[in-house]
Amino acid sequence: MAGRHFLQIPGPTNVPDRILRAVAQPTIDHRGPAFARLGREVLDGMQRVFQTTGPVVIFPSSGTGAWEAALANTLSPGDKLLMFETGYFATLWRDMAERLGLVVDFVPGDWRHGVDAAIVEQKLADDRARAIKAVAIVHNETSTGVTTRIPPVRRAIDAARHPALLLVDTVSSLGSIDYRHDEWGVDVAVSGSQKGLMLPPGLGFNAISGKALAASSAARLPRIYWDWTAMIKNNAAGFFPATPGTNLLYGLREAIAMLMEEGLAAVFARHQRFGEASRRAAAAWGLELLPANPDEYSSVLTAVVMPAGHDADVFRSIVLERFDMSLGAGLGQLKGKVFRIGHLGDFNDLMLAGTLAGIEMGLAAADVPHTRGGITAALDYLAAAARPALRT
């Protein structure tokens, strides 16, 4: 097919040419002085991205590996964990915790709402024996387009005067949605390279508070590859205890530079514009959004509910075949019921316009009931909500 494929899933995202060129550099000795400089650059840079002064460790892994590292370094067999059913990935993290031998109080949800801070406070207040050792939540649930507000959760933990750690999955929010590790009092953040950081998959991250580090000294879940201790010790000089993802670290250095050149506040505002424009397009089409609370709308993806009697996967297949564009599938209980529009990472107004045009043409081609005009509604909004001026 002529032209460039539109990869509009909510991760992995489009990798900009600038990062591809960085990744293509020759591999170097990961025990040599040149690598030490690279190591310190990316470790220091990721502190700025997480907005923390504490350590950030980088594993050659997916975000799933970083999930396991967060649990294995802070908890012991039989420890109790408070988690919330906000969507597919929250459920997978629960499954992992149980397989590791943890006891999970999994608060049921409808996959349309984020974490209710009032429930967090009540659960912890009722835990008089302090059996709950950690609260683990997903910041931006990629399967649903719902973003949980972290500060109210932190305030709920504090209001209950509970010592539980706060673990937060930022896989699809870091580098796209405002996340403030230190200010929000998060103990361990989990993330991955393939979304807001604009890299290929392959790097997993933990940002770690002092409280989490202290907990790791007493944690008894088995860990070897995922052990923070050796990572932090070697990272002090820019090195890693095992073979690192050298070429992905080249790309990470470039990604950090791109984020800092634009400015994190501008990056977050850009994603907010795209999220609102996409929602306005869906509203003009007469299609329902999956998130039920406007305060929890995601800036990095929009999950759209298909009308009754129409299969979202059939629609996605038609869009791929006719217009060479990939849209996100419905996951788990949402399979066939929603399609997801990714609008994050290396992304601009014209790319969003093309994406929404492909969707509107696809709705017509698939005979999905809708009203034309979604593209116009989005473009009108983008024109009125002017793009922030570039830094000079």
Q: Is the pLDDT assigned to residue 183 strictly greater than 70?
A: yes
Q: Which amino acid is at 332?
A: G
Instruction: Supply the DSSP string of 295-361, one letter for each residue.
Output: GGB-SSEEEEEPPTT--HHHHHHHHHHHH-EEEBPP-GGGTTTEEEEE--SS--HHHHHHHHHHHHH
We report the CATH number of the domain holding residue 116 as: 3.40.640.10
Percent of the chain residues past pLDDT 90, beyond the cut:
97
Instruction: Supply the DSSP string of 208-258, one letter for each residue.
Output: E-HHHHHHHTT--S--STT-HHHHHHHHTTT--SS---HHHHHHHHHHHHH
Percent of the chain residues past pLDDT 70, beyond the cut:
98
Contact between residue 177 and residue 271 where contact means Cβ atoms under 8 Å apart: yes
According to the model, what pLDDT value does residue 180 have? 98
On whether both 254 and 308 belong to a single domain, the answer is no
DSSP letter (8 states) at residue 386 = P
Question: Which one of 213, 234, 260 terminates a domain?
Answer: 260
Residue 177 burial by Cβ neighbours in a 10 Å radius (0-12, 13-18, 19+): buried
On whether both 231 and 87 belong to a single domain, the answer is yes
On whether both 239 and 311 belong to a single domain, the answer is no
Q: How confident is the model over 48-52, as a mean pLDDT?
A: 98
- Asked if residue 389 belongs to a domain, the reply is no
List of residues 6+ apart from 190 with CB closer than 8 A:
63, 66, 67, 69, 70, 167, 168, 169, 170, 171, 204, 205, 206
Q: How confident is the model over 306-324, as a mean pLDDT?
A: 98
Q: How confident is the model over 280-308, as a mean pLDDT?
A: 98
On whether both 252 and 269 belong to a single domain, the answer is no
Q: pLDDT tens digit string along 66-107? A: 999 999 999 999 999 999 999 999 999 999 999 999 999 999
- Asked if residue 391 belongs to a domain, the reply is no
Tokens representing residue 17 in the block: 């040419």
Q: pLDDT tens digit string along 331-371? A: 999 999 999 999 999 999 999 999 999 999 999 999 999 99
Q: pLDDT tens digit string along 230-269? A: 999 999 999 999 999 999 999 999 999 999 999 999 999 9
On whether both 291 and 142 belong to a single domain, the answer is no
On whether both 223 and 288 belong to a single domain, the answer is no
Q: Which domain holds residue 190?
A: 17-260
- Asked if residue 43 belongs to a domain, the reply is yes
On whether both 127 and 145 belong to a single domain, the answer is yes
- Asked if residue 346 belongs to a domain, the reply is yes
CA distance 187 to 148: 16
* Three-class secondary structure of residue 82 per DSSP: strand
Furthest-apart CA atoms within the chain: distance in Å: 64
Q: Is the pLDDT assigned to residue 385 strictly greater than 90?
A: no
- Asked if residue 379 belongs to a domain, the reply is yes
- Asked if residue 328 belongs to a domain, the reply is yes
On whether both 184 and 330 belong to a single domain, the answer is no
CA distance 157 to 84: 15
Question: In sequence order, what are the beta bridge partners of 12?
Answer: none
> Considering the entire predicted model, what is its pTM?
0.96
According to the model, what pLDDT value does residue 390 have? 47
On whether both 306 and 354 belong to a single domain, the answer is yes
Q: How confident is the model over 2-11, as a mean pLDDT?
A: 95
Round the average pLDDT of the chain to a whole number and report it.
Answer: 97
Residue 1: pLDDT band by 50, 70, 90 thresholds?
Answer: confident
We report the CATH number of the domain holding residue 292 as: 3.90.1150.10
- Asked if residue 225 belongs to a domain, the reply is yes
On whether both 113 and 223 belong to a single domain, the answer is yes
- Asked if residue 1 belongs to a domain, the reply is no
According to the model, what pLDDT value does residue 119 have? 98
On whether both 237 and 303 belong to a single domain, the answer is no
DSSP letter (8 states) at residue 169 = E
Question: Which one of 219, 242, 260 terminates a domain?
Answer: 260
Residue 388: pLDDT band by 50, 70, 90 thresholds?
Answer: low
User: Closest by alpha carbon to 175, among 197, 200, 203, 206?
Assistant: 197
On whether both 246 and 286 belong to a single domain, the answer is no
Question: Which one of 260, 277, 298 terminates a domain?
Answer: 260
Domain count, the chain: 2
Give 389 or 386, the one with higher predicted confidence: 386
According to the model, what pLDDT value does residue 392 have? 38
